């Protein structure tokens, strides 16, 4: 049905346009706060409504529903021919119908038929998977409808499980994306940096960077500990090393190569204990030459004493790879004769004692530290391993050469 009236919808920013271009039948958008999730939800709902299709909108609570109801009514007012306030239902001139529901009672929408549903702030929905499978998914059968789940993450819950479906190539009906708050280029410049300065690392990672994080049972570190020890600057350092935990293979599915720079200070008196400073994390998935170039660049940037590299996956090859990039860099090979947990525990004890400090925020490293559980050790914590090798060499073993002063 054609209509002469136009809706004034916000123009999608680049990240939102990417989702529109790549969308599947079921879509999961994990995005930071103020990234424009709700406005995007109104946009995709309006697309279907303009085609004369029935749409269901679902919010976690009745309070959140009423807030979105007012905004949606304002946007759709030019095309609204009937508004049922008590039922949160709009009938448009195009023939499209919008129903808005609170998921405090998922069964309320039973029996409805939708071409599209939008679940806003999905991570806040209690028992989201049950609500989806038992109440929401059946509303899409008749019209073979689609769905959008929009939310900022809240730990590792049902919303993350839906997100992972969208990352699984064997699930062609599903698609998912993760965008930080910074993807919304319409936000005032400087606001994100201002928030970083006042939020804890855990809160910033989840709310702004939109990462699925949690402090898991048995983790050796937690965000409160890291925030308590964090510093903005570091003192004169006695030694600096760059530690490398090389990946076994070099393809897009490989483990990351851990690359971490750290240093240790010189106590002012003999009675004081030394403190360690984690300076940088350049870990990532690289080719052998790629990780060697980054490790050596970090070595020169921090005027390090040496590169400490794990040699269990072929020490001669590790040393050869580094020296093909720069043969002047001293390389110290270390062998993992003990398990990851046994190696990590003494380092974690130093963190707990307040003797290791992260200089600024090392987001990806900190996320891995606080989500790696020795109890359920399924993933390879490469960034953690590199950090452990660096601190062990600096603070848990005697240095092999005379210490020297290093100005940061």
For the chain, give every domain's residue range: 14-183, 216-396
**3-state secondary structure (DSSP) of residue 76:** helix
SS3 53: coil
Strands 331-334 and 54-59: unpaired
The DSSP annotation for 219-259 comes to: -S--HHHHHHH-BSS---EEEEEEEEE--SS-STTSPPBEE
The dihedral sign for the CA sequence 176, 178, 181, 185: negative
pLDDT by position in tens, the chain (length 408): 345 566 777 789 999 999 999 999 999 999 999 898 989 999 999 999 999 999 999 999 888 898 889 999 999 999 999 999 999 999 999 999 999 999 988 888 888 999 999 999 999 998 899 999 999 999 999 999 999 999 999 877 899 999 999 999 999 999 999 999 999 988 887 888 888 877 777 778 888 999 887 666 668 898 889 999 999 999 999 999 999 999 876 555 567 899 999 999 998 787 789 999 999 999 998 999 999 999 999 999 999 999 999 887 666 788 899 999 999 999 999 987 677 888 899 999 999 999 999 999 898 898 888 878 775 554 568 999 999 999 999 999 654 333 333 333
Q: How far is CA 125 from CA 62, 68, 131, 180, 256, in A?
A: 12, 16, 8, 21, 33
pLDDT digits (tens, 9 = 90+) for 88-147: 999 999 999 999 999 988 888 888 999 999 999 999 998 899 999 999 999 999 999 999
- CATH 3.40.50.300 is held by the domain 14-183: yes
Predicted pLDDT at 5: 62
3-state secondary structure of 402: coil
Q: Helix crossing, 62-76 with 37-50: angle to 10°? A: 50
- pLDDT tens digits along 170-227: 999 999 999 999 999 888 878 888 888 777 777 788 889 998 876 666 688 988 899 9
Fold designation for 216-396: Nucleotidyltransferase; domain 5 (3.30.420)
Q: Are 229 and 352 in contact (CB under 8 A)?
A: no
* Cβ 92 vs Cβ 49: under 8 Å: yes
Is 264 in a helix, a strand, or coil? strand
So what's the pLDDT on residue 407? 35
Nearest residue to 139 via CA among 91, 103, 167: 103
- What does the alpha-carbon distance between residue 238 and residue 231 come to, in Å, rounded to a whole number? 18
Degrees to nearest 5, angle at CA 387 with 381 and 390 = 140
Look up the pTM and report it.
0.60
Rounded-to-integer distance, Cα 19 and Cα 178, Å:
10
Pairs from 323-327 (Cβ < 8 Å, separation ≥ 24): 324/289, 324/292, 325/289, 325/292, 325/293, 325/296, 326/296
pLDDT at 255: 73
């Amino acid at each position: 049905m054609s209509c002469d009236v136009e809706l004034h919808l916000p123009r999608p920013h680049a990240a939102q346009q990417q989702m529109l271009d790549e969308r599947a039948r079921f879509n999961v958008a994990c995005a930071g706060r103020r990234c424009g999730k709700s406005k995007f939800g109104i946009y995709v709902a309006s697309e279907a409504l303009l085609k004369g299709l029935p749409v269901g909108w679902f919010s976690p609570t009745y309070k959140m529903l009423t807030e979105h109801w007012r905004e949606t009514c304002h946007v759709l007012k030019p095309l609204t021919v009937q508004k049922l306030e008590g039922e949160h239902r709009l009938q448009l001139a195009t023939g499209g119908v919008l129903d808005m529901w609170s998921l405090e009672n998922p069964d309320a929408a039973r029996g409805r038929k939708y071409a599209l549903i939008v679940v806003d702030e999905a991570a806040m929905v209690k028992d989201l998977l049950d609500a989806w499978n038992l109440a929401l998914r059946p509303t899409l059968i008749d019209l073979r409808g689609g769905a959008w789940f929009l939310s900022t993450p809240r730990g590792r819950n049902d919303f993350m499980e839906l997100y992972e479906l969208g990352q699984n190539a064997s699930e062609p009906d599903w698609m998912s994306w993760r965008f930080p708050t910074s993807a919304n280029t319409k936000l005032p410049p400087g606001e994100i940096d201002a928030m970083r300065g006042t939020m804890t690392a855990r809160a910033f990672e989840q709310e702004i960077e939109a990462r699925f994080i949690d402090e898991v049972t048995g983790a050796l570190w937690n965000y409160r500990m890291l925030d308590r020890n964090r510093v903005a600057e570091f003192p004169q350092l006695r030694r600096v090393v760059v530690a490398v935990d090389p990946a076994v293979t070099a393809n897009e599915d490989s483990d990351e190569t851990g690359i971490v720079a750290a240093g240790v200070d010189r106590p002012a008196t003999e009675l004081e204990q030394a403190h360690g400073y984690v300076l940088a994390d350049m870990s990532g998935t690289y080719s052998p030459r790629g990780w060697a170039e980054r490790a050596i660049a970090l070595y020169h940037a921090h005027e390090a004493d040496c590169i400490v590299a794990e040699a269990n996956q072929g020490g001669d090859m590790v040393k050869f790879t580094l020296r093909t990039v720069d043969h002047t860099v001293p390389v110290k090979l270390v062998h993992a004769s003990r398990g990851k947990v046994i190696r990590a525990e003494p380092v974690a004890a130093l963190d707990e004692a307040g003797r290791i400090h992260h200089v600024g925020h090392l987001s990806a490293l900190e996320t891995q530290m606080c989500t790696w559980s020795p109890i359920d050790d399924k993933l390879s914590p490469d960034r953690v391993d590199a950090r452990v090798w660096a601190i062990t060499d600096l603070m848990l073993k005697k240095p092999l050469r005379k210490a020297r002063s290093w100005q940061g």
